[in-house]
Amino acid sequence: MNRLSFIGNSTLDAERLRRLLTGVFDVQFVELARVGGERPDRFTVIAPDYDDAPSLIKLRQWIKLRPKDGRMVFVTRAESRVENAQAHALGATGVVHRPIDSAELLEKLWDDIAVLGDTTPGFGALGHQGAAAAQDSLRDIFSAASLGDALKATAIESAGAAVVNDIEANGLSTWIETVRSHHSQTYQHCLLVTGVAVAFGQHLGVGSADRKRLSIAGMLHDLGKARIPISILEKPGPLDQDELAIMRKHPEYGAEALKTAEGFQPEMLEIVLHHHEYLDGSGYPHGIGGNEIPDLVRMMTVADIYGALLERRSYKPPMSPQKAYDILLSMGPKLDAALVRAFASVTKVAA
Ligand SMILES: [Fe+2]
Ligand SMILES: [Fe+2]
């Protein structure tokens, strides 16, 4: 039977978990204060004390030692935005709320078992160094952004270059196929958009400097989502009005995070802040339009929408390239018509 560690302060919690997971996992209880003695198990459920900063710092260090595809599911209170954000920042691969529902918990743990199995190896094992590097880089920048740490331009740049090489070697459809298996909705989205943007740049014949810029911008564009609660980010269905209003703050959050970082070009800030603006002024956050939106931003907006449509979500099957492209066409004056026309060849559909 698989071993699972429960890290927390209450033996009562551990007992409940043992009952919930009978026959599936062998649950070991580890007291929060004792964390650090052994490296993390492949399967770990953590109920930290979110008010105890020193123990959280220790926990964060320890979580970094987890096995490559290890699962770290955090227990939080559903209503606590802070706890959910903290769990994410500490390295949670999934979050469950109190009272713990066994089906939900198993879903968060199983989710990755397919990835752990021999039949579907991780990005690195598939020979997709670009995807593996980009994923590691995303984890670092999202963690830094949610903790208010400094972002490192160089790490993102080298991951961006790896994505460019990967797409040049294997093509866009292989890339899409690969990143669709990612369990995190946000990472999957960023990796998809990065690949689409790079392929778009390649098709338009932009120079290598701009192609690199597009790869970095793809990874950074939704950086602000690091400050949006996971319950909204990973909601298995459409968002309601209030949730949408929170979600729409991500371009500004992302720009704030980038402003504090060194080594990023001003174009990056523009893309992060304006990737949801439309040419007809109907976008957000500022409602700018027309000439106020530079080409690189226009390209990223097209790549972003297309990438989002192609995502694999738990509540809907992925859309076909043709259907996704038709949606771009139907957006009319919101998008740059010439770019959308050129984009048809990237997606290999009829314009
Ligand atoms: Fe976005
Ligand atoms: Fe996006």
* CATH of residue 317: 1.10.3210.10
Note the ligand closest to the C-alpha atom of 247: 1
Note the ligand closest to the C-alpha atom of 285: 1
- Does residue 144 lie in a domain region? yes
- Mean pLDDT: which of 3-7, 24-28, 113-117 is highest? 3-7
Tens-digit pLDDT profile for residues 265-275: 888 999 999 99
- What is the pLDDT, as a whole number, of residue 174? 84
- Domain total in the chain: 2
- Does residue 121 lie in a domain region? no
Note the ligand closest to the C-alpha atom of 188: 2
Determine the distance separating the centroid of ligand 2 and the alpha carbon of 349, expressed in angstroms. 22
Tell me which of 78 and 297 has the higher pLDDT.
297
Note the ligand closest to the C-alpha atom of 304: 2
Is residue 46's pLDDT more than 60? yes
As given in the structure block, the two tokens for residue 338 are: 């010439």
- Does residue 288 lie in a domain region? yes
Determine the distance separating the centroid of ligand 2 and the alpha carbon of 304, expressed in angstroms. 5
Note the ligand closest to the C-alpha atom of 306: 2
* Domain span at 68: 2-116
- What is the pLDDT, as a whole number, of residue 351? 58
Residues 93 and 156 in one domain: no
Determine the distance separating the centroid of ligand 2 and the alpha carbon of 296, expressed in angstroms. 15
Determine the distance separating the centroid of ligand 2 and the alpha carbon of 17, expressed in angstroms. 36
Give the CATH number, domain containing residue 109.
3.40.50.2300
Determine the distance separating the centroid of ligand 2 and the alpha carbon of 24, expressed in angstroms. 37
Residues 323 and 204 in one domain: yes
Residues 261 and 133 in one domain: yes
Calculate the alpha carbon distances from 317 to 36, 96, 311, 345 in Å: 41, 24, 8, 23
Residues 20 and 70 in one domain: yes
Determine the distance separating the centroid of ligand 1 and the alpha carbon of 247, expressed in angstroms. 9
Instruction: Indicate the residue among 48, 81, 116 that finishes a domain.
Output: 116
Residues 103 and 163 in one domain: no
pTM across the whole model: 0.66
- Does residue 124 lie in a domain region? no
Determine the distance separating the centroid of ligand 2 and the alpha carbon of 282, expressed in angstroms. 17
- What is the pLDDT, as a whole number, of residue 138? 82
Residues 330 and 222 in one domain: yes
Residues 335 and 234 in one domain: yes
Share of the chain above pLDDT 70, in %: 91
- What is the pLDDT, as a whole number, of residue 159? 83
Q: What is the mean pLDDT of the chain?
A: 85
Residues 138 and 102 in one domain: no
Residues 197 and 256 in one domain: yes
Note the ligand closest to the C-alpha atom of 249: 1
Lowest-confidence pick of 34-38, 76-80, 180-184, 214-218: 180-184
- Does residue 123 lie in a domain region? no
Instruction: Indicate the residue among 57, 87, 116 that finishes a domain.
Output: 116
Determine the distance separating the centroid of ligand 2 and the alpha carbon of 102, expressed in angstroms. 32
Determine the distance separating the centroid of ligand 2 and the alpha carbon of 283, expressed in angstroms. 13
Tens-digit pLDDT profile for residues 50-91: 988 888 888 988 998 888 778 899 999 888 888 888 898 888
Give the environment of ion ligand 1: residues with CB less than 5 A. 222
Tens-digit pLDDT profile for residues 96-146: 988 888 777 877 886 533 332 222 334 655 556 788 888 878 877 877 777
How many Å apart are CA 184 and CA 40, to the nearest integer? 20
Calculate the alpha carbon distances from 36 to 4, 62, 100, 233 in Å: 16, 6, 25, 30
Note the ligand closest to the C-alpha atom of 308: 2
Determine the distance separating the centroid of ligand 1 and the alpha carbon of 211, expressed in angstroms. 20
Contact 172, 199 (CB under 8 A): yes
Determine the distance separating the centroid of ligand 2 and the alpha carbon of 272, expressed in angstroms. 9
Confidence of residue 276 (pLDDT cuts 50, 70, 90): very high
Give the neighbor-by-neighbor strand order of the sheet with 2-8.
Answer: 25-31, 2-8, 43-46, 71-76, 94-97
- Does residue 314 lie in a domain region? yes
Determine the distance separating the centroid of ligand 2 and the alpha carbon of 43, expressed in angstroms. 30
- Does residue 285 lie in a domain region? yes
Which of 319, 315, 317, 288 lies closest to 306 in space, CA to CA? 319
Residues 230 and 259 in one domain: yes
Give the mean model confidence (pLDDT) for residues 270-284: 97
Determine the distance separating the centroid of ligand 1 and the alpha carbon of 192, expressed in angstroms. 13
- What is the pLDDT, as a whole number, of residue 250? 95
Tell me which of 9 and 133 has the higher pLDDT.
9
Determine the distance separating the centroid of ligand 2 and the alpha carbon of 78, expressed in angstroms. 25
Determine the distance separating the centroid of ligand 2 and the alpha carbon of 75, expressed in angstroms. 27
Residues 154 and 229 in one domain: yes
- What is the pLDDT, as a whole number, of residue 113? 38
Tell me which of 183 and 19 has the higher pLDDT.
19
Determine the distance separating the centroid of ligand 1 and the alpha carbon of 204, expressed in angstroms. 23
Tens-digit pLDDT profile for residues 175-210: 888 887 766 778 889 999 999 999 999 999 998 888
Calculate the alpha carbon distances from 71 to 59, 81, 95, 100, 114 in Å: 15, 21, 10, 16, 12
Note the ligand closest to the C-alpha atom of 189: 2
Residues 32 and 75 in one domain: yes
Contact 227, 85 (CB under 8 A): yes
Tell me which of 144 and 244 has the higher pLDDT.
244
Instruction: Indicate the residue among 93, 116, 139 that finishes a domain.
Output: 116
